[in-house]
Structure 1
Amino acid sequence: VLISAGRRAEAVAQYDAILAVAQNAAYRADIAMRAARALFDAGDTAGALTRMAAILQETPETPQAYEAMQILRQNAQPVDEYLRGRIAFAYGDYPTAVDALNRWAASRSSVGEIPAAFHLLLGQAYRALGNTEAAVTAFQTIVETYKTDPLFGAALLEQGRTRFLADDIPGAIGAYVSIADTYGYLPEAAEALWRAGYLYSTNDQPDEANVLFERLADAHPNTQQAVDGLFLAATNAYRRGNMTAAEHYYAELGVKAAGDDRATAYFWLGRLALQRGDSPAAGQAFGQVIAAAPDSFFAARARDIIDGRAAFARPAGLQFSFDDAAQIAEAESWLRTTFNLTQEGALWQPAPELIAATQRGAELWAVGAIDEAAAEFNGVVEANRENPLASYQLAIHLRGIGAYYYSVLAASYVIRAANVGTLAAPPFIARMRYPAYYLDLVLREAERYEVDPLLILSLIRHESLFNTFATAAAGEKGLTQVVPGTAQYIAEQLRFPDYQHSDLFSPYAGIAFGAFYLNEQLDRFDQNTTAALAGYNAGPGRAIEWLEVSGGDPDQFMTAISIDSTRTYVERIYGYHAIYRALYGAG
């Protein structure tokens, strides 16, 4: 706004104020580059170049650093070759990275001046160019010359990864197993065994894989790799029909894993118990699921199985009106008891220092400077994440000015501080974590397509956390994060007048487009919500393949999903829907 008005000095001052509090490296680089451009436009070339040099030093792995480097070189400004190589590598300009790194090494007077990190980066750059042998040689330099360096283990792993990326699977497996055989004392040994087992698994050698996963669990039992390996071993056994072995692996996981991983293991123990007709054992296992991770997908599935409820079942009725005064009183009594608060009077009224801390963000929000306001709100919320009273006050205050994303985040910190599941918290706080914002628009679209409104709310919560200005890397925009190509198709189907992709920043369009596409997937998959959500996220073609593999079983469908991000997507929305059903379902 200030730049468009020609007030560049004020704009630079505004950018500097943001940089004084901003923590995210990518965001800082963007703001710093905007400030540098503003100085260029104002004729202050020296000031602009000074700021660009600072971007190189402070945030070398950002696109802005690469742009700044190019401008500095065009203006005959010196750039250290090692730094140039790092920036070029991060940007994906691998020829420049290799050239700059080799120039820097040639300028050193002795080998002792060259750190192990240099050889690691050089090897990665050569690998990205497809020069496998040069990459392996660079990594081997670390192995032979830097035996006590912290990057020694990483160099060993990089050699195996380089063989893998060159499609030399036996060579990669051999490299990884050799690490475990020779350097079993290194923390990287667990990762090496997991990678070798994984490569056996994905190349149709499950017996060889499970031997390594069992070795991993025995030699490195307290690692995440051991847990991940046992899961793969259990999956290999299950898919081959060896239920006894699968149950053995899941039982071991029930002891060694924690949180969501433990919940997953006990869930499959419950499924296997049901499969063999042992209902008491199944019930006990499902109870362990809920205890291990009460807000998780598997806890939601366990409750549904215990209650005989279908996946994504709609409640008999809905309730969106509540006695706020009574529920606030209940919530604040809980806060006082849980966190030993002694403050008198209403707790929801923000302390003066919180009002002052959010004032700048509120002003920016009011004039449409959304990114800048978001940085301010995020800073305040994160600074108070360990303070449950402040987080409670921020959740209410930010909700009041429409900064829903940060209100939800603050509410989540209250519940996390109490170390309870969402449904164990007072309903007033739980509903701030799982809100029903834009309800009139949601209900209208739900009625139009006969879709569960709680499913739409769950989808919005996952896609954008109710941030109507949300944008993602592939161009997804708005509350339901529809990608440009799909959005254009939907606009044509809805006969949306004069459609522009930025229209999705409107809650009206964001919800309408998302509901249309969700309903289309539900119709395509005969109201199978699990498959429909996978289609919404990864495309219907992939979801059709996974459905065929699973035979229609919702849990087997989840294991058939071959894209981790899509599996997580469906799992989270399932868990969200279960919480929304508990909070807003009636009858």
Structure 2
Amino acid sequence: MAGAGPGRQGVLGLQPERAREDPRHRVQPPPDAAGHRERACELGRAAGGLRPPPVDGADGPGPAAAAGRPLGRHPRARAALAGLVALVLGAGAPAPAVVRAREPLSGGCAARGALASLAALNSPDGVRASLLLGRCLAEEGRLREAIVLLDRAQAHPTLAPYARLWAAEAALRLGDPEGARRRLVQALRGGLAGDGVVRAQLTLARAWLQLGRARQAEAHAREALAQARGDEERAWAWWWLARAAEVRGAGREARVRYATTWWGFPGTEASHAAWTELRRLGRVPAPPVGARVERARRLRDPAAALREWRAALHQGLPHHLAAEAYLQVGLLQLGSSSAVASLTRAVPDPRYGPQARYWLGAAYARLGHEAAAARTWSGLARRFPTSPWTARALVALASRAERRGDLQAADRWLAPATAFRTAAGDQARWRRGWLRYRQGRYAEAEALWREAARLHPDSPFASAALYWAALARARRGVEARSLLEAVARDYPHAYHGQRARERLGLSIPPPAPAPVPVDLPHDRYASRAVELAALGLYREAEDEVEVVAQRTPSQHLARLLAWVRAGAGDLRGSVGAAEALVRPWSWRAPELDAGLWSLAYPLAHWEVVERFARERGLDPLLVLAVVREESRFDPEAVSPAGAVGLMQLLPSTARGLDPSVAPQDLVDPQTSVRLGTAYLAGRLRDFGGDVVMALVAYNAGPGAARRFLGLRGDSVDEFIERIPYAETRAYVKRVLESYGLYRWLYRGDR
């Protein structure tokens, strides 16, 4: 995070195995909150001209009213998101297609003339053309023609449920609720997946309301609420529950449900619609306590979330929700004395007990109450010896002992943590070797590191263990080249594999092989996921791929999921899906093609990044590496410390660079990159072009970086490991690893 200080580092966009200390993202939500995730609403279809038709009507907005509406709230952020498909799949970030269809099926609505000619043919491509052209015509309001084509597309053996769903939406807009209901029942029987099921259930609720059957409508809205994963879908489910209650005369219940929609799902289309309905009904009730909880979970602004959790507690919560609220209130004010009181209230809850105890110890530590922190963490270890939070507590105790110079005590705390197969366990195994290295006990350090790498070759710390084992050998005057060669060979893309190559004077690895896309056969049908992806129906394809991947995971499905998420405008989700497979730190990772690597390390926002990087004298690929590790390319990322945007700038830092910039401007990619590159260039000037020190300053703050200069000796490796902040140590290595991968992937092209 730009401009951060001790304990205020950025916390977003990290690989799970190496995540930073982000208390909000460590909270395990209760079962009723599981699975919620934000999605970019229909961006792929909007960009390709295939946005589904609106279903607004006299009886109110429908579940697809927000189709095509991105989650971005700043106008320029919305524009950037709307163009994301071109950035990811076009010239900006050339991720080759996983599956592709021939023209005109890949041309979208712009090719409607050719689609019409193709739709006349009695062939698989003819049926596909009918499906696509029907969607295009529905978007234009030519509903009767659209229904004819979509009904014809029901001949598609795998996409028939989607044809029926879209035909039903068009029929409903034409005033034919019975025709819509009939098609929707068939669509649900045909096996829709994910959001398609939710959309069908919500449209069925509307159809039943038009038929005067409020109870049936309510039942389908409840089904949608039970299955919805995204905020927009959950909000519309509540909206239709409210409308159904109003139709059957339950006015008070309707107002409560409208209020839940309005208050619980901020920023959604349904929230705005619910506010309109509440004003129409003449009295806006206080937000229900359940709506406050929903809202607090979703608010990205930490200060606003804290206010909402406090209001929910004041209003009164059942025990299980109160424990979650106290935990969140504590995490959102971790550096204050109030955090101790809140976290103490969460400790007795059986679901949150270990987690609350860990963060209670962290709260004491931040307040300087080291003895209380030690008592809390050691008590956690005694009471919950197998909890993953215990491993983190043991590592925290060891870190404080190491900081005091008591390396023997640090080793005693680390020893039991090595039994855990978690990120904290990996860290404990590595740091036991580091403690001995610091004391000059190089043979013992080497032995511990080599044993850790042997037992856990796929750990993110394995390459570090072998690399440092080689350095320990060199310190003893023993031949180390063969061990460095093994690190460079077995972990070529990991940070320490890159460092091994540099020490050995080796060139970068050979380019990844070019991908071989799958062509959609013109004379027969493919699986539903492949059909949807090839036709550019990315959101639907994502749902289908997720369903199949849960049953039979494979490399091809993982790559397809990353590609369709990119097409749908969900770049953060795309990177997450791709990096789960590429895993640069993995031992002898399988040969992966350049298409998958470019999805994990995309040239996102390239034109903006390149322009401002060149103006500041920066390598654009270094800037991309910073953006990737700060925000995973999410323009609206907000950290608990209040850092905002692609480059995670604190508003105070941004104002120091440009007094005219308001906090909300930082979600604009251009503003974030303009100011972030200026800040990074300034830190490079401060430290004479030293990239490592500049990254330390970017993450921990210039003041902290200057204090750490005294640790800077001849060995950059030893300096990085001696940085007092664990988060900053990990951040520097992550950015440098990504920078090396970007240079490997793109240096020859840029």
User: Normalised by the shorter chain, which TM-score bucket?
Assistant: 0.5 to 0.7
Q: 1:344 to 1:303 in 2, by over 3 A?
A: farther
Q: 1:304 to 1:54 in 2, by over 3 A?
A: same
Q: Which one-letter code corresponds to 1:203 in the other structure?
A: R
| Contact 1:389–1:414 (CA under 8 A) maintained in structure 2 | no
Q: TM-score, normalised by structure 1?
A: 0.64
| Contact 2:555–2:581 (CA under 8 A) maintained in structure 1 | yes
Q: Which one-letter code corresponds to 1:305 in the other structure?
A: R
Aligned to 1:306: 504
Q: 1:403 to 1:250 in 2, by over 3 A?
A: closer
| Contact 1:157–1:176 (CA under 8 A) maintained in structure 2 | yes
Q: For residues 396-431 of structure 1, what are the alpha-carbon distances to aligned partners after superposition, in whole Å with 9 as ceiling and x for unaligned?
A: 5565676544444454456469x8878932223322
Aligned to 1:208: 409
Aligned to 1:512: 674
The question of 1:86 aligning with 2:323 is answered yes
Please list, as runs of the form range in 1=range in 2, the aligned pairs for 1:27-426 lying within 5 A after superposition.
Answer: 32-34=264-266, 35=270, 38-43=273-278, 52=288, 54-55=290-291, 67=308, 70=311, 79=316, 82=319, 85-86=322-323, 88-90=325-327, 92=329, 128-129=340-341, 197-214=398-415, 220=419, 227-258=426-457, 259-279=459-479, 281-285=480-484, 287-288=486-487, 291=490, 293-307=491-505, 330-332=514-516, 351-354=530-533, 358=537, 386=553, 388-389=555-556, 391-393=558-560, 395-396=562-563, 399=566, 404-412=571-579, 415=582, 424-426=591-593
Q: 1:517 to 1:428 in 2, by over 3 A?
A: same
Q: Which one-letter code corresponds to 1:539 in the other structure?
A: G
Is the deviation greater in 524-533 or in 242-251? 242-251
Is the deviation greater in 17-26 or in 35-44? 17-26
The question of 1:460 aligning with 2:627 is answered yes
Aligned to 2:617: 450
What is the distance in 2 between the residues matched to 1:161 and 1:286?
A: 40
Is the deviation greater in 523-532 or in 550-559? 550-559
| Contact 1:297–1:574 (CA under 8 A) maintained in structure 2 | yes
What is the distance in 1 between the residues matched to 2:637 and 2:358?
A: 37
What is the distance in 2 between the residues matched to 1:186 and 1:472?
A: 26
What is the distance in 2 between the residues matched to 1:399 and 1:475?
A: 27
Q: For residues 215-257 of structure 1, what are the alpha-carbon distances to aligned partners after superposition, in whole Å with 9 as ceiling and x for unaligned?
A: 665xx47676654434333333333333344334323423344
Question: Could you say what secondary structure the match of 1:463 adopts?
Answer: helix
The question of 1:536 aligning with 2:702 is answered no
Aligned to 1:10: 61
Q: 1:503 to 1:67 in 2, by over 3 A?
A: closer
What is the distance in 2 between the residues matched to 1:450 and 1:579?
A: 20
| Contact 1:283–1:306 (CA under 8 A) maintained in structure 2 | no
Q: Could you tell me how far 1:206 is from its partner in structure 2?
A: 1.7
What is the distance in 2 between the residues matched to 1:537 and 1:483?
A: 11
Is the deviation greater in 181-190 or in 266-275? 181-190
What is the distance in 1 between the residues matched to 2:483 and 2:437?
A: 21
What are the ranges of 5 or more consecutive residues in structure 2 without an aligned counterpart? 1-40, 42-55, 67-197, 203-223, 236-260, 300-304, 332-336
Q: 1:275 to 1:331 in 2, by over 3 A?
A: same
Q: Could you tell me how far 1:561 is from its partner in structure 2?
A: 2.2
Q: For residues 493-542 of structure 1, what are the alpha-carbon distances to aligned partners after superposition, in whole Å with 9 as ceiling and x for unaligned?
A: xxxxx655555455443333222222211111111111111212221111
Q: Which one-letter code corresponds to 1:517 in the other structure?
A: Y
| Contact 1:263–1:299 (CA under 8 A) maintained in structure 2 | yes
Q: For residues 132-185 of structure 1, what are the alpha-carbon distances to aligned partners after superposition, in whole Å with 9 as ceiling and x for unaligned?
A: 8xx89x86xx9xxxxxx8999889989988987896756765787688789979
What is the distance in 2 between the residues matched to 1:295 and 1:92?
A: 40
| Contact 1:60–1:86 (CA under 8 A) maintained in structure 2 | no
Is the deviation greater in 257-266 or in 234-243? 234-243
What is the distance in 2 between the residues matched to 1:574 and 1:413?
A: 19
Aligned to 2:599: 432
What is the distance in 2 between the residues matched to 1:402 and 1:87?
A: 32
What is the distance in 1 between the residues matched to 2:431 and 2:371?
A: 20
Q: Could you tell me how far 1:387 is from its partner in structure 2?
A: 5.5
| Contact 2:684–2:690 (CA under 8 A) maintained in structure 1 | yes
What is the distance in 2 between the residues matched to 1:273 and 1:247?
A: 7
Q: For residues 90-120 of structure 1, what are the alpha-carbon distances to aligned partners after superposition, in whole Å with 9 as ceiling and x for unaligned?
A: 45289xxxxxxxxxxxxxxxxxxxxxxxxxx
Is the deviation greater in 294-303 or in 263-272? 294-303
| Contact 2:541–2:564 (CA under 8 A) maintained in structure 1 | no
Q: 1:503 to 1:25 in 2, by over 3 A?
A: closer
Q: For residues 330-367 of structure 1, what are the alpha-carbon distances to aligned partners after superposition, in whole Å with 9 as ceiling and x for unaligned?
A: 4127x89xxxx9999999997343478956x6xxxxxx
- Identity score, percent: 21
Q: Which one-letter code corresponds to 1:201 in the other structure?
A: E
- Higher RCO (C-alpha 8 Å, min separation 6): 2
| Contact 1:190–1:216 (CA under 8 A) maintained in structure 2 | yes
Q: 1:357 to 1:506 in 2, by over 3 A?
A: same
Q: For residues 429-485 of structure 1, what are the alpha-carbon distances to aligned partners after superposition, in whole Å with 9 as ceiling and x for unaligned?
A: 322332324444444334333322321222233233344454444454443333322
What is the distance in 1 between the residues matched to 2:669 and 2:356?
A: 49
Q: 1:570 aligns with which of 699, 710, 732?
A: 732
Greater fraction of residues in helix: 1
Q: Which one-letter code corresponds to 2:696 in the other structure?
A: A
What is the distance in 1 between the residues matched to 2:369 and 2:634?
A: 45
What is the distance in 2 between the residues matched to 1:188 and 1:93?
A: 17
Question: Could you say what secondary structure the match of 1:260 adopts?
Answer: coil
Aligned to 2:741: 579
What is the distance in 2 between the residues matched to 1:65 and 1:22?
A: 26
Q: 1:466 to 1:58 in 2, by over 3 A?
A: closer
Aligned to 1:23: 229
| Contact 1:391–1:411 (CA under 8 A) maintained in structure 2 | yes
Q: 1:195 to 1:435 in 2, by over 3 A?
A: closer
Question: Could you say what secondary structure the match of 1:424 adopts?
Answer: coil
Q: Which one-letter code corresponds to 2:738 in the other structure?
A: Y
Q: Which one-letter code corresponds to 2:473 in the other structure?
A: A
What is the distance in 1 between the residues matched to 2:594 and 2:652?
A: 40
What is the distance in 2 between the residues matched to 1:164 and 1:474?
A: 17
Equivalent residues, number = 494
Q: Which one-letter code corresponds to 1:287 in the other structure?
A: A
Q: For residues 289-313 of structure 1, what are the alpha-carbon distances to aligned partners after superposition, in whole Å with 9 as ceiling and x for unaligned?
A: 652x54422222222222268xxx9
Q: 1:554 to 1:346 in 2, by over 3 A?
A: farther
Q: Could you tell me how far 1:73 is from its partner in structure 2?
A: 8.3
What is the distance in 2 between the residues matched to 1:181 and 1:529?
A: 43
What is the distance in 2 between the residues matched to 1:400 and 1:533?
A: 32
